[in-house]
Structures are given as C-alpha cells and as structure tokens.
Chain A
C-alpha cells in the first residue's frame, strides 16, 4: 500500500512539473513571437520614413548622391530580407548608412534648419531607439527561453516536448550600443 502511495504521488509530482514547464515554455514562446512582430513593425516604420528623408536631403545636398544611393540600397535590401539573420544584418547596415547621411547634414546649414528635416530626424532617431528596445526585449525573452530548455532537468523533458532553441536577433546588446547612432 505504502509503496503504491509513494509511487502514485511521485507520478503526480512529475506530471505537475511537466505541465508547468510546458505552460511556461508556451508563454515564453508567445512572448517571443509578439516581440518579434514588434521588431518587424518598427523596422517597417523606419523604412517608411526613409524616402521622405532622402527627398528632403536631395533638395539641399545634390552632390551627396553616393551616400543617398547607399541608404536607398540598404533600405531595399532590408525590405527584401526574409530570414531573421538577414534582417538583423540589413538593419544594422541601414543604421550605419543613415548615420552617415545625417552626419553630412551638418555641412548644410539650410538643410539643418529645415522644419521637415528636423521633424524627420527626430522621428528617425526615435525609431532607431524603438528598434533597439524591441530587439532588447526580444533577445531577453529568447535568452530566458533558451536557458529554460537547456538547464537540467528541463533539458531531459524537452527531449520529449521537442521545443527547438530560439535564435537571437543580430548583434548582442553590447555591440548594438556601439553601432547605435546618437543624433543629438
């Protein structure tokens, strides 16, 4: 009898453990998906701002065609990117190109004083922040998820549940701070 009780309660505990692990993982997975769509929304938002910016700059700085082309190209390749890794890389390239574009604006006082340019610049630097924070939230969740499925004893159970490891979005946070352009 006693043995039966012990055995029975061990099974109940095991079931409870797997249950809570499974639910925890599903919750995290949903959060990761939501975080990913947030990144996507912000990348799209940034891409939408760029044609306007390029047009405004063109009006004042016709000679900087090279830089403007590189921005347009980076934007196109970001929109074309399908996989997460490709998107992350293209997004970083676009940030770099935009940084250069905004840096040359320093040489054109009239452009710098243009209202719509100032507004665009503000929106753009805000969107850069949004991308960065969305990425941070995404990566934090991915880290929690991966830690959860890789630590003992969860890793044994996950053999059965079969959740695959999640992919980080691009550069680590440290690297990201370094590329981040400060427009102030």
Chain B
C-alpha cells in the first residue's frame, strides 16, 4: 500500500528534519560565534535551544501555527457546513473528528495541522465556508483530512516552526553584525575574517535554504492529498470546482506568514511576480490549473 509507505516516510522525514535542524543550528552557532568572537560558548546554548525547540515544534507545533493564524474555534450552529462536512468525512476516513477553527477573513483558504490524527486541527477561512457549495467544501476538507491521515501535518508543522526559527536566528545575527559586537578582532585576524565572511554567507543562505526545504516538502504531497481526498468523497469534481474558485479569488490572506504559507491548500500570497523562474523556486504549491486538470481526468 502506497499510503502506508507515505506515512512511514513522513514520520522518518520528521525526525531527520529535526536532527538536521539541531545540526544546522549548532554548526551555525559555531561559525557565527567564532565570527563574532564569542568562541564556542554559543555551542552549548545552541544545542540546548535547538533540542528544546525541536521538541516544542513536535508537541506544540499545531498550537503555535494556530496561534499565528489568529483563528477562533468553530461552532456547530454558526459554521454548520464546515462542522458537519468534517464530521462526515472523518467518518469516511475512519479518523476522529479533528478540532475545527475558523479565521474570520474573506480570503478563501484552509489548512490542517497536528502531529497525528488524534491531535489534528482543521482551519478554514470564513470566506471559504461562505463562498463554496457543500460539495466543494467537502472536496477541500477531504484534501485536508488526507494530509492528516498521511501524517503530512506532523512534518509540515515541525518544518513550519523550525524553518521559522532559522529565519528568525539569521535575522538576529544580521542585526547583531550591524550593531557592533566585533570584539577580539585583533586576536586572530585572519581566521576571524574568514569566519565573518562564512557567517555572513550563512546568514544570507539560511533563510533561503529553510524556505527551499519548506517548499520541497509540500509540493508533491499536494497532488497526493488531492488524489486521496477525491477517493474519500468519490467526487473529484467537487475539489476541482473548489480549486477553480480559489484560483479566481485574488484576495491575499493576511493571517498567513512565510513560515505557515506552505500549510494552506493554495498559496495564500497569490502571485508576487518577481521573475517567473525565481519565484517558481519558492512556490509553495503546484500550479492550480495542473491540479484541476489531474482531478478532472480521474
């Protein structure tokens, strides 16, 4: 079964990613600590910090992501369609009903998060709930439940928090470079100079690397979630029509950040055209038209 192997690979990737994050932060701390002349004292802090944030992203990643999006819990009466559609598809998928949240925003989008099906969260914007018909909403929710069932959400939540942390650290480093901190420059001028350059390169590279990892992680699993979602509803046209509507919606979702963009069903920023090739490297999602075409061919 391909789904079982997909789950296994997601779980493994999560741990590999966490280990990679610890290694990256410790290495970066070594390079930057030396570049700034603090020596190896940063290493200890880096180990402690990266291990703690890895575990935190694993256990509380979903809560953090949710807090960042500013969502409210869904209500059965007020969000009847979202509530019941999720209940129904959870029955079909054989998983417990995830907790439901709504972002009050007229932009249309949705995401799922949580470390396993027992701790899952699905979040939709009120724009999505209002503007999609029930069958279309079913398509979107089925897509999200597939992410949960395949353990995509575990990996994606960890990636969101850790990649966000790297970006944050790089930012701090750049600032500290700007505002002084070049002590001990004369102690070992040559080595210090080289390390300073490496440090700057790392500081520039790390957010890019982080972003690339984040994107590589999410693109192909969108196709898989589309397919297994369609299998769940037995009605690919529902999701195809929903994606079409989302594609035509040009509104940007303010609640999304760089760290959380890849969680959403479609790119919350829409097109930010700065060179087609360059921006395609940073695309969090495969082109919607391609996804629709595949769904319609099912």
Given the interface pairs A184-B133, A184-B134, the reply to whether A126 lies near B92 with Cβ below 8 Å is no
Shortest Cβ distance from B195 into chain A, in angstroms?
55
Q: Which residues of A contact B93 (CB under 8 A)?
A: 137
> Is B87 touching A173 in the complex (CB atoms < 8 A)?
no
> Is A130 touching B91 in the complex (CB atoms < 8 A)?
yes
Given the interface pairs A126-B88, A184-B133, the reply to whether A136 lies near B94 with Cβ below 8 Å is no
Is B89 part of the binding interface, using a Cβ–Cβ cutoff of 8 Å? yes
| Across the A-B interface, the 3 shortest Cβ-Cβ residue pairs | A133-B92, A126-B84, A133-B91
- B84 touches which one: A129, A141, A177 (CB < 8 A)? A129
Shortest Cβ distance from B238 into chain A, in angstroms?
12
> Is A133 touching B89 in the complex (CB atoms < 8 A)?
yes
Q: Which residues of A contact B134 (CB under 8 A)?
A: 184
- A130 touches which one: B80, B87, B94, B234 (CB < 8 A)? B87
Q: Which residues of B contact A126 (CB under 8 A)?
A: 84, 88
Chain A residue nearest to B93 (CB atoms) is A137
Q: How far is it, in angstroms, between the C-alpha of A81 and the C-alpha of B80 when the chains are bound?
A: 31
Give residues of chain A (13-32) contacting chain B, Cβ–Cβ below 8 Å: 31
- B91 touches which one: A134, A141, A173, A184 (CB < 8 A)? A134
Q: Which residues of B contact A42 (CB under 8 A)?
A: 91
Q: How far is it, in angstroms, between the C-alpha of A42 and the C-alpha of B134 when the chains are bound?
A: 19
Q: Which residues of B contact A137 (CB under 8 A)?
A: 91-94
Q: How far is it, in angstroms, between the C-alpha of A42 and the C-alpha of B90 when the chains are bound?
A: 14
Is A38 part of the binding interface, using a Cβ–Cβ cutoff of 8 Å? yes
Chain B residue nearest to A133 (CB atoms) is B92
> Is B88 touching A173 in the complex (CB atoms < 8 A)?
no
6 A-B pairs with CB atoms under 8 Å apart are A42-B91, A129-B88, A133-B89, A134-B91, A173-B234, A184-B133
Other contacts beyond A133-B88, A133-B91: 6, CB < 8 A: A126-B84, A130-B91, A134-B92, A136-B92, A137-B94, A184-B134
> Is B88 touching A130 in the complex (CB atoms < 8 A)?
yes
Q: How far is it, in angstroms, between the C-alpha of A16 and the C-alpha of B88 when the chains are bound?
A: 38
Is A65 part of the binding interface, using a Cβ–Cβ cutoff of 8 Å? no
Chain B residue nearest to A136 (CB atoms) is B92
In this complex, the member of B80, B91, B134, B235 whose beta carbon has the largest number of chain A beta carbons within 10 angstroms is: B91
Q: How far is it, in angstroms, between the C-alpha of A80 and the C-alpha of B234 when the chains are bound?
A: 31
Q: Which residues of A contact B80 (CB under 8 A)?
A: 122
Q: Which residues of B contact A184 (CB under 8 A)?
A: 133-134
Chain B residue nearest to A182 (CB atoms) is B135
Is A35 part of the binding interface, using a Cβ–Cβ cutoff of 8 Å? yes
Give residues of chain A (131-163) contacting chain B, Cβ–Cβ below 8 Å: 133-134, 136-137, 141
Q: How far is it, in angstroms, between the C-alpha of A141 and the C-alpha of B84 when the chains are bound?
A: 23
Q: Which residues of B contact A31 (CB under 8 A)?
A: 94
Q: How far is it, in angstroms, between the C-alpha of A126 and the C-alpha of B89 when the chains are bound?
A: 11
Q: How far is it, in angstroms, between the C-alpha of A42 and the C-alpha of B87 when the chains are bound?
A: 12
Q: Which residues of A contact B88 (CB under 8 A)?
A: 126, 129-130, 133
Chain B residue nearest to A128 (CB atoms) is B88
Q: How far is it, in angstroms, between the C-alpha of A123 and the C-alpha of B85 when the chains are bound?
A: 12
Q: Which residues of B contact A35 (CB under 8 A)?
A: 94
Shortest Cβ distance from A147 into chain B, in angstroms?
12
Shortest Cβ distance from B207 into chain A, in angstroms?
43
Q: How far is it, in angstroms, between the C-alpha of A134 and the C-alpha of B92 when the chains are bound?
A: 6
